[in-house]
Amino acid sequence: MRDLLTAALGHAERGWHVFPLRPDDKRPAFPDHTAEDCAGRDPRCRSGHLGWEQRATTDPARIRRAWSRRPYGIGIACGPSGLVVVDLDVPKHPDDNPPPEWAGACDGWDVFGSLAARHGTPIDPFDGFGPDAGPRTGIEATYTVGTGSGGTHLYYRHPTTGPALRNTTGERGGLGWKVDTRAHGGYVVAAGSTVTGRPYAVALDYEPAPLPAWLAGLLAPVPRPARPAAAVSLPADRHGRYLAAAIRRQVAHLAAAPDGQRNHALFTSAVALGQLAAGAALTDDDVTAVLEPVALSIGLRPGEIARTIASGLRVGARQPRRLSSIQEAA
């Protein structure tokens, strides 16, 4: 337990935001419920559900308190830590073979190495480790963790410019076979933890290197055009102009929401427009048509978007706003 505390404090000292995982397990210890099951009973959820990403901390006092209680594993929330972690996995069983596109690859390392070579990055000597250590082309040495299952986590610094990177998954829209990435909305099991008795250990104790530009390019989300004005037809009179301005305001508010507050921003925008919907100036469908594309473009997931808009509309419906009263007051 001491070792876990020491490891957690060490990660926090590097500026990495840590949170407790269930002992010897990959799953977060807190919260013990999902956003949709949140009844506000957890004291930290009193003013809205607080997930592991928001709870992750670098505060030594909070870390000491948590890790003196139980031998929690250590999760690192990649987004707030400014990290992009490349997760190179190994086959799980003898029949776990690569798809034709990656024929001949033995593991995630092979796929990642050929991606690097394909993108013409300079060849850097890499003092690899593990059973097939050797020079890896195009991959700069960086902070590296060996995982419990024989995989590898390469830690990179998230670019300071450009879009926020999110998680990607192997062959499903990700980099390729056995190569996942974790960034905003993602976490990794940190060195010092164990999962089913198998340790995660630092393999190369370097500072995280900047994310290679070719990798940042491959991981950048495909921009989705946000054209909310086209989604709703408004009357051409002053009511219409008022509504258009109200919509633009909510869209701007949502688009500018910082990481960790995006779901909450979606909620408050849905409440604001939901009040107008309750006052019959818009329909609930209009509100969804306006907010959904913006929410997707900032990286929220379809399921959580639908739930959050629905709950915002419910709250907004309790306080309808009618255009006539608004304009008299203005």
- Any idea what the Cα angle at residue 61 is, between residues 59 and 62, rounded to 5°? 70
> For residue 167, what are its two tokens?
């998680």
Residue 215 contacts residue 156 (beta carbons within 8 Å): yes
CB atoms within 10 A of CB 123: 12
Select 31 or 186, whichever has its Cβ closest to Zn ion.
31
Q: How far is residue 56's CA from residue 62's CA, in Å, rounded to a whole number?
A: 10
218 is an interface residue for Zn ion by CB under 5 A: no
Q: Residue 15: which of 145, 158, 141 has the closest Cα?
A: 158
Select 45 or 317, whichever has its Cβ closest to Zn ion.
45
Q: Which of residues 74-93 bind Zn ion (CB under 5 A)?
A: none
Minimum distance, C-beta of residue 203 to Zn ion, in the bound complex (Å): 36
> For residue 115, what are its two tokens?
């991606």
Minimum distance, C-beta of residue 40 to Zn ion, in the bound complex (Å): 7
Number of residues that bind Zn ion (CB under 5 A): 4
231 is an interface residue for Zn ion by CB under 5 A: no
Q: Which of residues 47-66 bind Zn ion (CB under 5 A)?
A: 49
Tell me, letter by letter, the H, E, C secondary structure of 188-239: EECCCCEECCEECEEEECCCCEECCHHHHHHHCCCCCCCCHHHHCCCCCCHH
Tell whether the torsion through CA atoms of 86, 91, 92 and 96 is positive or negative: positive
Residues with Cβ within 8 Å of residue 280, at least 6 apart in sequence: 320, 322
Select 28 or 146, whichever has its Cβ closest to Zn ion.
28
**In the block, residue with structure tokens 């009511």:** 239
Minimum distance, C-beta of residue 42 to Zn ion, in the bound complex (Å): 5
Q: What share of the chain is helix, strand, coil (3-state, %, to 5)?
A: 40, 15, 45
Select 126 or 267, whichever has its Cβ closest to Zn ion.
267
Select 24 or 42, whichever has its Cβ closest to Zn ion.
42
Residue 297 contacts residue 227 (beta carbons within 8 Å): no
CB atoms within 10 A of CB 255: 16
Minimum distance, C-beta of residue 38 to Zn ion, in the bound complex (Å): 3
Select 55 or 184, whichever has its Cβ closest to Zn ion.
55
Minimum distance, C-beta of residue 273 to Zn ion, in the bound complex (Å): 24
DSSP H helices in the chain? 2-13, 52-55, 60-69, 78-81, 108-118, 213-219, 228-231, 238-255, 262-278, 284-297, 302-317, 323-329
Q: Which of residues 10-49 bind Zn ion (CB under 5 A)?
A: 31, 38, 45, 49
Select 49 or 178, whichever has its Cβ closest to Zn ion.
49
Minimum distance, C-beta of residue 49 to Zn ion, in the bound complex (Å): 4
Select 45 or 201, whichever has its Cβ closest to Zn ion.
45
Minimum distance, C-beta of residue 45 to Zn ion, in the bound complex (Å): 3
Select 38 or 234, whichever has its Cβ closest to Zn ion.
38
Minimum distance, C-beta of residue 308 to Zn ion, in the bound complex (Å): 13
Minimum distance, C-beta of residue 126 to Zn ion, in the bound complex (Å): 43
Residue 87 contacts residue 180 (beta carbons within 8 Å): yes
Binding site for Zn ion (CB under 5 A): 31, 38, 45, 49
